[in-house]
Structure 1
Amino acid sequence: MIASLNRRQFLSTAAAGLAASALPYRAHAATSPLTMQAAWINDAEFAGYFLGLDRGYFTDAGLDLEYLSGGPDVIPESTIIAGRADLALTTPDTTIKAITEQGAPFKIIGAQYQKNPIGIVSLAKNPINEPKDLIGKTLAVPPVNVISVEAMLKMNGIDPSQVNIVPYAYDPTPLVKGEIDASLDFTTNVPFTIKQAGEDATSFLLYDFGYTIYNDTVVVTEQVLAEKRDLLVAWLAASRKAWAENLADPSVWPPKFAETHFAGTGRSIENELYFNAAQKPLMESAEGYFALTGDGIEKCLSALGEVGIVGSADMFDTSLLAEI
Structure 2
Amino acid sequence: MRFRRSAAAIVAVLALALVSACNNDKAGQNGDASLQKITYLTSFNTFGREAYAYVALEKGYFKDAGFDVTIKPGSGTVDVLKLVAGGQADYGIGDFTAILITMGKQKMPVTTVGMIHQRSMAAIVALKGGSINTPQDLAGKKIGDQPGSTNTVMFPLYAKAAGIKGWETTKFVPSPPPALPQLLAAGTVDGIGQFVVGVPTVEKADPKHRQAVVLPYGDKLPDLYGNAIITRSDLAKDHPDQVKKFTSALLKGLQDTINDPEGAAKILQKYDPKRTVDGSVAELNLMKPYVKPDGFTGELGEADGERVERIIKALENAGEIKPAGSLNPAEVVDRDLAPKG
> Residues 179-232 of structure 1: CA distance to partner in whole angstroms, max 9, x if unpaired?
655333222114423234222213131122127543432222222112211111
1:157 aligns with 2:173: no
**Number of the residue aligned with 2:337:** 320
Deviation at 1:299, TM superposition (A): 4.2
Matched to 1:275, the amino acid is: E
Deviation at 1:37, TM superposition (A): 2.2
Contact 2:109 2:233 in 1 (8 A): yes
Contact 2:305 2:335 in 1 (8 A): no
Q: Please point out which of 185, 192, 195 is paired with 1:176.
A: 185
> Residues 234-264 of structure 1: CA distance to partner in whole angstroms, max 9, x if unpaired?
1222222221111113122212332x3113x
1:271 aligns with 2:279: yes
Distance 2:88 2:138 in 1: 46
SS at structure 2 position matched to 1:275: helix
**Number of the residue aligned with 2:290:** 282
SS at structure 1 position matched to 2:312: helix
Gaps of 5+ in 2: 1-6, 18-27
SS at structure 2 position matched to 1:109: strand
**Number of the residue aligned with 1:77:** 81
SS at structure 2 position matched to 1:184: strand
CA 1:246–1:93: 2 relative to 1, 3 Å = closer
Task: Tell me the number of residue pairs that the alignment of Structure 1 and Structure 2 aligns.
Answer: 306
Distance 1:111 1:86 in 2: 17
Alignment RMSD: 3.6
Aligned pairs for 1:1-324 within 5 A: 10-14=10-14, 31-38=34-41, 39-60=43-64, 62-72=65-75, 75-92=79-96, 95-96=99-100, 99-125=103-129, 130-132=134-136, 134=137, 138-142=141-145, 144=148, 148-161=154-167, 165=171, 167=173, 169=175, 170=177, 171-178=180-187, 181-197=190-206, 198-210=209-221, 212-258=223-269, 260-263=270-273, 266-284=274-292, 285-305=296-316, 306-310=318-322, 311-314=327-330, 315-322=332-339
TM-score of the pair, normalised by structure 1: 0.77
Deviation at 1:96, TM superposition (A): 3.6
TM-score of the pair, normalised by structure 2: 0.74
CA 1:53–1:174: 2 relative to 1, 3 Å = closer
CA 1:86–1:131: 2 relative to 1, 3 Å = same
Identity level (%): 18
Distance 1:37 1:211 in 2: 28
SS at structure 1 position matched to 2:214: strand
Point out the structure with the larger helix share: 2
Higher mean displacement: 286-295 or 65-74: 65-74
Gaps of 5+ in 1: 1-6, 18-24
Distance 1:262 1:120 in 2: 27
SS at structure 2 position matched to 1:224: helix
CA 1:9–1:217: 2 relative to 1, 3 Å = farther
